[in-house]
Amino acid sequence: MSRRIYLKMKSLKEARDIFLTHWNLAEMLSAETVTTVDAAGRVTAAPVFARFSSPTFHSAAMDGIAVRAEHTFGARPESPMKLKIGTDAQWINTGQPMPADADGVIMVENVHQIDEETVEIQAAAYPWQHVRKVGEDIVATELLLPQNHRLAAYDIGALLAAGILELQVHRRPQVLIVPTGNELVEAEALREKGSVPGGAIVEFNSWVLASLVRQWGGQCDRHSILPDDPALLRQELLNAAEGSSDVIVINAGSSAGSEDHTANLIAELGEVLVHGVAIMPGKPTVLGEIGGKPVVGNPGYPVSAVISMEQFVRPLLYRMQGLEEPEPEMVVAYPAQKIPSKLGVEEFVRVNVGRVGDRLIAAPLARGAGSITSLTQATGFLRIPDTVEGVTESESHAVTLLTSRRGIESTLVAVGSHDMTLDLIANMLKKCDPQINLASSNVGSLGGLLALRKRTAHLAGSHLLDTETGEYNIFYINRYLAGVEVYLINLVHREQGLIVAPGNPKSIRGLEDLTRNDVSFVNRQGGSGTRILLDWRLGQLGVDFAKIRGYEQEEYTHMAVAVDVLSGTADVGMGIHAAAQALALDFIPVTTERYDLVIPAEHYNNPLVEELLEVIASEQFKEQVMALGGYDVRDTGRVVRSWSAGEE
């Protein structure tokens, strides 16, 4: 099948308008009858009118005596009135029917009992005092609930009280999700295999999308994985169009590659309404129709697939159920760093949001469309309009929250060098208080110090070596944070070295081997402490950077370097021992360095920072750090140095 290119890519607004107005969505779902006790969460397909009144009789609203109000007139403290039980008054409890001739209740606290037959009152009752009248809550035949109302738990009580034992609701939208791809394997197959076969990818997108469908009130059928075979996919699309599904979602195959068949098949069997939307991630989305049913071909990368679903399937399902799509909670935040973007494409940047001082700061996460963890870690989306080439720290921007406002008020923003112990800290903070979130942005040690200078973080991780003195971080704090009161606290000492494949197949002995023609290298980004350390040691050895194959290939974390070595993308990379041990790789030590936390004094007494410092001082944390390998905790939690304003 021939390649297909995006000839008429639409803006997000244009694509939504075309897709969501193509059908009369409010009439697509038939009604069904359900029992009231099972109706919570469903949406009424017709107005509901009360069969009975509630209450169905006049009843006491208080414990006391039931009386005829006019017979108590004249009772005052200075001239109390005596009443005969059984003649002038009747004892009554809350909820009991009122006697036929009574129209008021005097609370038991205001009744003085003289003897078994006589009581005394010091104030008159007024008509219908402390009495629930017939129909006080619900009147028979009145409108109880309108059409297109999502039923809450409280509604179930009202329906039963009004005698409604069953009612008409919209049928749940039925969504069929079809994962496609020759490289995919079912997650369940791992039970037997024990590992992922070479070149294979565990299929998880469809399970994520199915969970989203259920969150939006739909029901979901998941097809087993289909290979990239246009004949098979064509037959399944025909079957789905003739079946019970209301919406069909094809995951992957929506792009313009030679194995991407979705758009061509939709065009052949029905109509392509949109192919290509000016959003990132999610650009290859296909929107169409087969047999009168909406069909969505969304991209295979997980973040792209989720954004495509949220922008097109979510509003579709809500409108089919007769519901307004809920408005997301928004805040205004400043980016923790400059975020470039492409002109002409609206970008959804996953961010972690936290309050730093008097401003909300949005720290960007990994932007790759294939990074599912950027969704699990994100607390919001920052949308960059298609009319700009990015955003900067100097201006605030709207952020769509994925968590509560309380959640972002309990977020610690850490920007700087990556270290695996930060993940341990994040987990232990969560154990102490589930609301606390440690949002780490890996921009290198120097980037962390600059973030502190811009006041866009609570703390920074740093291991910047002063090559003249051999000291860590102090020179750079004096240079980049002059005039800022800060505390320098040791987190760990750690081994830095060369990460190589198991068994060291290239027989790499040290940094001098990096210039060999048969060795490919992966580097850390400029400004990172690891990069500064590497360049200094290479300079000591007289090694020419230009002769290192892959020196320009950069990663932002130690684990990313280790993964490159594990996958064979590179033969060797510079990183910490713990990263090598985590992936069962070999390690060649180069040096031991000090990794510190830099905390401005203005945040030092922040309860969230105090909680973090308490965690790193704990024996439990130190034990977990040592288990990672390549760490020394002899100074963990120690204040290495503090600076007063103006001190250098």
Mean pLDDT of all residues in 475-500: 95
First to last CA, the chain: 68
Say what the pLDDT of residue 125 is.
95
Say what the pLDDT of residue 2 is.
40
| Average pLDDT of the residues of the chain | 91
Q: Pick the more confident residue, 533 or 193.
A: 533
Residues whose CB falls within 8 Å of the CB of residue 457, separated by 6 or more in sequence, listed in order: 336, 356, 361, 363, 413, 414, 415, 416, 441, 448, 451
Say what the pLDDT of residue 5 is.
47
> What's phi and psi for 632, nearest 5 deg?
-130, 130
Mean pLDDT of all residues in 218-232: 93
Decide the pairing of beta strands 174-179 and 247-251.
parallel
Mean pLDDT of all residues in 505-523: 95
Say what the pLDDT of residue 4 is.
46
For residue 1, name the pLDDT band (cuts at 50, 70, 90): very low
Mean pLDDT of all residues in 25-43: 93
541 pLDDT higher than 80: yes
Name the DSSP class of 94.
T
Reported pTM: 0.80
Say what the pLDDT of residue 27 is.
86
Say what the pLDDT of residue 443 is.
83
507 pLDDT higher than 50: yes
Mean pLDDT of all residues in 462-476: 93
The structure tokens listed for 643 are: 């600076």
Is the Cβ–Cβ distance between 106 and 121 less than 8 Å?
yes
Say what the pLDDT of residue 22 is.
94
Q: Report CA 385 to chain centroid distance, whole Å.
A: 22
- Structural domains of the chain ordered from first start: 12-26+173-320 (3.40.980.10), 30-54+136-170 (3.90.105.10), 59-132 (2.170.190.11), 327-409 (2.40.340.10), 474-643 (3.40.190.10)
Say what the pLDDT of residue 556 is.
87
Residues whose CB falls within 8 Å of the CB of residue 565, separated by 6 or more in sequence, listed in order: 499, 500, 501, 522, 571, 572, 573, 583, 585
3-state helix/strand/coil string of 385-454: CCCCCEECCCCCEEEEECCCHHHHHCEEEEEECCCCHHHHHHHHHHHHCCCCEEEEEECCHHHHHHHHHC
3 pLDDT higher than 50: no
Separation between Cα atoms, residue 619 and residue 617, nearest integer Å: 7
Mean pLDDT of all residues in 604-612: 95
Say what the pLDDT of residue 86 is.
94
pLDDT digits (tens, 9 = 90+) for 575-602: 999 999 999 999 999 999 999 999 999 9
354 pLDDT higher than 70: yes
pLDDT digits (tens, 9 = 90+) for 189-207: 887 777 777 778 889 999 9
Choice among 203-212, 214-223, 334-343 with the minimum mean pLDDT: 334-343
Say what the pLDDT of residue 336 is.
86
pLDDT digits (tens, 9 = 90+) for 269-302: 999 999 999 999 999 999 999 999 999 999 989 9
Say what the pLDDT of residue 49 is.
97
Is the Cβ–Cβ distance between 31 and 47 less than 8 Å?
no
pLDDT digits (tens, 9 = 90+) for 117-164: 999 999 999 999 999 999 888 999 999 999 999 999 999 999 999 999
pLDDT digits (tens, 9 = 90+) for 368-420: 776 777 788 888 999 999 999 999 988 999 999 988 888 888 999 999 988 99
Decide the pairing of beta strands 279-280 and 346-356.
parallel
646 pLDDT higher than 70: no
Say what the pLDDT of residue 427 is.
93
Mean pLDDT of all residues in 249-274: 81
Separation between Cα atoms, residue 364 and residue 411, nearest integer Å: 14
Mean pLDDT of all residues in 436-464: 91
For residue 74, name the pLDDT band (cuts at 50, 70, 90): very high
361 pLDDT higher than 60: yes
